[in-house]
Chain A
Amino acid sequence: MAASPRELTQNPLKKIWMPCKNGHPERHISQRRVCMTNCPTLIVTVGLPARGKTYISKKLTRYLNWIGVPTKEFNVGQYRRRCVKIYKSFEFFSPDNEEGLKIRKQCASTALNDVQQYLSSEGGQVAVFDATNTTRERRNVIIKFADQNGYKVFFVESICEDPDVINANIVQVKLGSPDYADCNTDEAVEDFMKRIKCYENSYETLDEVLDKDLSYIKVMDVGQRYLVNRVMDHIQSRIVYYLMNIHITPRSIYLCRHGESDLNIKGKIGGDSGLSERGKKFARHLGDFIHEQNIKDLKVWTSQMKRTIQTAEALGVPYEQWKALNEIDAGVCEEMSYEEIQEHYPLEFALRDQDKYRYRYPKGESYEDLVQRLEPVIMELERQENVLVICHQAVMRCLLAYFLDKSAEELPYLKCPLHTVLKLTPVAYGCKVESISLKVEAVNTHRERPENVTVNRSREEALQTVPSHL
């Protein structure tokens, strides 16, 4: 059985060792991915309207995509809006509106077709089927569909009877929906409440006995309590953990980089230098800013690199150091300027421009590695309330990409200038972002992707977009 071992070759971009034949890599093994199973997963939301199903769907989708699991949500309500151009009233949802029922069933069907397309033909790994799915009959249809296609099914049911929460949901996301574009607030609320009523009589919650063989999580009262049944695999376990850590208490997350450092001024990357004079000034301004904002119970996090710690020290408040927040490890290129990298490692420099997200520095890290390293930080950020994270350029880009749902392609080019604080506040289904410049000058460290990314480009072409420095 022990055949003579295959030769190994290292993929030049990701620095992954792979077996090769005749000098060509063979696709035999894979790098550890989050979802090792070949089985795609269909997440199915369950619950009355205004219970946070779409909120959960979108947030979960954003999280899974960020950690590298291709995920897409399919909101049946949107299919319905495409089908029935004009929403008249709650009566569309009345259980004895046969015409309405037919259309809604059709929309669900169409959505499932798209799910199949996504999971079986487009390389999707997880699909989130976002609809009320409140009857066992509807859920059985979905289960059958999944069985036929070889998908695993995981239900996420949201149960909530707190009228304050329901009202808040309606105000936050329903009033602004296209359905109520021409209504005033009171009319919209009244209609929506009647809409909810239409579902109530036929609502069959996931049952301990009848549904004992299904895999699901019941989220009750916005996360006060959870019931978890038959978690089948790694991805379901991660989903459950994530859902248990998120909350909807209003809060703000502040992201910023350390103050300008001595290496920044010289145009060099990495290292562990201290703050420049301007960097120190920024730190003091940051301290003033924090005090002005008067934030309740603010937690402050830094990396374990001197420049972020120096910055935090100026705030005069307790802070926690996370090694996970350290800047991307540039390996052999640590403390080099881009000019020096071009001189010593022109091939590496070009490869990085070709795929900045997946490119791993020799003996260093890639953005992809960073995301994995930062996952526990994100998880803890979800648990927390008001937090100020003082970190680094690449790290900040990763965190920002998570909050603003940016793709792997966009992530490494997000603008995170020095001396600028980004204030993120969750709102409706997303995140509001305010950019606050603390009015202290600093070098620009943002390098855009140059036009020519081929390995045989000239030095000038390679250095075309390098920002100026000492």
Chain B
Amino acid sequence: MSKRRAGGPYFTNSPTVIVMVGLPARGKTYISKKLTRYLNWTGVPTKVFNVGEYRREAVKQYSSYDFFRPDNQEAMKIRKQCALSALTDVKSYLLEEGGQVAVFDATNTTRDRREMILNFGKENGFKVFFIESVCEDPNVVATNIMEVKVSCPDYKDCNKTDAMEDFLKRIECYRASYQPLDPDNYDRDISFIKVIDVGRRFLVNRIQDYIQSKIVYYLMNIHVQPRTIYLCRHGESEHNVLGQIGGDSGLSSRGKKFSGALSRFMEEQNLKNLKVWTSQLKRTIQTAETLSMPYEQWKALNEIDAGICEEMTYEQIKERYPEEFALRDQDKYYYRYPTGESYQDLVQRLEPVIMELERQENVLVICHQAVMRCLLAYFLDKSADEMPYLKCPLHTVLKLTPVAYGCKVESIYLNVEAVNTHRERPEQDVKRGPSTLMRRNSVTPLASPEPTKKPRIKSLDDHMASTSTSLSGFAASDISTAGQPLLGKACLT
């Protein structure tokens, strides 16, 4: 039964194997890693299987490009073995380890190799989607080689020039046997996207489903232009000072001081074009106002909605709703405030922001603690488990610069004091995950102040037990409305 998945469309049962195609230094691994990071962030369990890494395991010491010569039979055997080994791990990941998408990162430049993978997919009930990167701009290729190849383990004992020379010869080894995807004839029935000249042009063939459509959309929005993303929170707010969460208060005097410091800092950065984004809550807008630059307000950047706990302090929440408070600490990522949101909901809400951030160049995002944690988790590839505990203190700017396969992050404290709003993960030993926590979108929180609990309708219970996944450790209370059957179990997050 497809009731589980929270908030978004249910992915088809078929896992997907994404297969990279292209000559070396065409950005395959860059795309693989970035795509994997994006899919994981949106909640789709994804993993990269880089055949080059399997090869480095098998052949401890790389000698030269001769290894990749098409007439090197010994090496060809090893390379094929590595590919098969990687596919075995793909199978295990998708069938036994809960993976939904596996990215098979290798050159896969021959029809034979791709045929083998298609058969592998068919045998195991996996959908196959190819991503081919085609680029003949020598500048782009050379830049790639310098950014990620000369420093790779293969070339650890070489100087840069030698490494570059060897790598170029390596590419030539593949060129003669390279059979690009042919949409007009040979490959017209397979699903793929051809990325040409670093995204100038795309050819998309036979998208089968939702996930392939999202992947195509994502690939069309990313770029490789150097740029910087600045993330920070609003200046300290009046609620912050009082320890109250949520709400829509204005800046404290220290918060206003921070705004001035932020303005000076951004000026010093001397950026030619900078976009400034805020939420629609007063405190971020007040912060942006000091910059004297145009800014855009995004409702999607509003702080997490704490529902019935809005504007309370943690002490008050603990006192009034102790069960809710405990539940949140148990599983902060999936926990949804009654009539409010969870971090998981936030991720869904922020996805268009991330997509637009990918399209843009220099951007300063002035947002909020939970929101900033979500965005940061995307850029730094942090798991759902880590995300709600990332440190995003007030009055500190995080400067993110894409580099090689990841993101460099610099933390700049602007020297204006502020309260600390970070709550550490409490010591605990509980199983986490979406099914251990149920949240109904109820007005009534878990520990209702009502002294007596109303009996549940037995028949509904039996019905629920037979149709929903079992839940451990959940104690549902009844809704205060008289005669109302409890439907907590049906409302799975």
Interface residues of A (CB under 8 A from B): 1-3, 5-6, 8, 10, 15-17, 19, 28-32, 36, 224-231, 233-234, 237, 240-241, 244-245, 262, 271-274, 304-306, 309-310, 313, 318-324, 326, 334-335, 363, 369, 372, 376, 380, 383
Complex interface: chain A residues within 8 A of B259 (CB): 2, 5
B143 at the A/B interface (Cβ < 8 Å)?
no
Q: How far is the CA of A271 from the CA of B277 in the complex (A)?
A: 32
Interface CB pairs A-B, < 8 A, 7: A36-B296, A227-B203, A237-B217, A241-B217, A274-B481, A304-B493, A323-B6
Q: How far, in whole Å, are A226 and B263 apart by their CA atoms in the complex?
A: 45
Kindly name the residue among A32, A36, A318 whose own CB sees the greatest number of chain B CB atoms within 10 A. A32
Asked if residues B10 and A228 are in contact (CB atoms below 8 Å), the reply is: no
- Contact call A8/B7, Cβ cutoff below 8 A: no
State in angstroms the CA–CA spacing of A1 and B8 once bound together. Answer: 45
Residue of A nearest to B204 (CB): A226
Interface pair B8/A273, CB less than 8 Å apart: no
Contact residues of B: prevailing secondary structure: loop
**Contact status A309-B294, CB under 8 Å:** no
Q: B201, A234: Cβ atoms under 8 Å?
A: no
Partner of B220, one of A231, A271, A309, A310: A231
Q: Which residues on B sit within 8 Å (CB–CB) of A226?
A: 202-205
Interface string of B75-109 (1 = CB under 8 A from A): 00000000000000000000000000000000000
Complex: chain A residue closest to B281, CB-CB: A17
**Does B9 count as interface, using CB distance less than 8 angstroms?**
yes
Residues A334 and B339 in contact, CB atoms below 8 Å apart: yes
Contact B213 A304 (CB under 8 A): no
Q: How far is the CB of A345 from chain B (nearest CB, A)?
A: 17
Q: A383 to B217, alpha carbons, bound, how many Å?
A: 14
A322-B3 Cα distance, complex, nearest whole Å:
10
For chain B, the count of residues having a C-beta within 8 Å of the partner chain is 70
A230 touches B201 (CB 8 A): yes
Q: Which residues of A contact B263 (CB under 8 A)?
A: 1-2
Q: How far is the CB of B97 from chain A (nearest CB, A)?
A: 24
B345 x A323 contact (CB < 8 A): yes
Q: Judge whether B221 and A32 touch: CB under 8 Å.
A: no
Residue of A nearest to B216 (CB): A244
User: In the complex the two chains form, is A29's CB within 8 Å of B295's CB?
Assistant: yes
B220–A228 touching, CB < 8 Å: yes
Bound CA–CA A334/B443 (angstroms): 9
Instruction: List, in ascending order, chain A residues with CB within 8 A of B216's CB.
Output: 244
Chain B positions within 8 Å of A36 at CB level: 296
Min distance, Cβ B378 to any Cβ of chain A, angstroms: 18
In contact, A274 and B485 (Cβ under 8 angstroms): yes
Chain A residues whose CB sits within 8 angstroms of the CB of B202 once the complex forms: 226-229
- For residue B401, which residues in chain A have a CB less than 8 angstroms away from its CB? none
Q: Could you tell me the distance between the alpha carbons of A217 and B441 in the complex, rounded to whole angstroms?
A: 42
Q: Say whether A274 contacts B292, CB under 8 Å.
A: no
A5 touches B290 (CB 8 A): yes
Q: Scoring B residues 1 to 23 as 1 if CB is less than 8 Å from chain A, else 0, what string do you get?
A: 11101111110000000000000
Name the interface residues of B458-488: CB closer than 8 Å to any CB of A: 479, 481, 484-485, 487
> How far apart sit A227 and B201, CA to CA, in the bound complex (Å)?
7
| Residues of B close to A241: CB separation below 8 A | 213, 217, 220
Cα(A369)–Cα(B299), bound, Å: 8
Cα A224 to Cα B183 in complex, Å, equals 11
- B292 to chain A: which residues have CB within 8 Å? 1-3
The verdict on A273 contacting B183 (CB below 8 Å), with A29-B295, A227-B203 known, is no
**A376 CB contacts on chain B under 8 angstroms:** 8
Complex interface: chain A residues within 8 A of B7 (CB): 304, 321-324
Assembly CA distance A322 to B9 (angstroms): 7
B213 touching A272 by the CB < 8 A rule?
A: no
Inter-chain contact B6/A321, CB cutoff 8 Å: yes
Which among A17, A244, A305, A380 is the interface contact of B280 at CB below 8 angstroms? A17
